[in-house]
Amino acid sequence: QKEVEQNSGPLSVPEGAIASLNCTYSDRGSQSFFWYRQYSGKSPELIMSIYSNGDKEDGRFTAQLNKASQYVSLLIRDSQPSDSATYLCAVISGGSYIPTFGRGTSLIVHP
């Protein structure tokens, strides 16, 4: 069974700090990786996708992928209170088009 694991948190960081969110997955054949942000009572919003090993940066967000270790992480620089949300990791295995979602990590950025 394909699994995507995330620490449920909450992860609490001060405003301006770097928030580091981690995700591990069980299927070594996974090809596509995504981070979504979900505010309370709202639907998920795609933040980033990453497909190859290494870092991918978009503004204050950096996704990091290490296929050998089967983990993907999301760094949020200069965290803001508006970043407080649940962050969902999603993984698609090779040969599939259906993502498997983690349970999400709750992030709290306090002033």
Backbone Cα Rg of the chain? 13
Residue from 102, 105, 107, 109 binding another protein (CB under 8 A): 102
Half-sphere exposure in the Cβ direction for 33 (13 Å, CA): 32
CB nearer to another protein: give 17 or 60.
60
Residue 29, helix vs strand vs coil: coil
Q: Which of 12, 51, 55, 66 binds another protein (CB under 8 A)?
A: 51
Looking from the CA of 25 toward its CB, the CA atoms found within 13 Å total 27
CB of 10 to another protein, least distance (A): 12
| Site of interaction with another protein (CB under 8 A) | 32, 34, 36, 41-46, 49, 51, 88, 90, 92, 97-99, 101-104
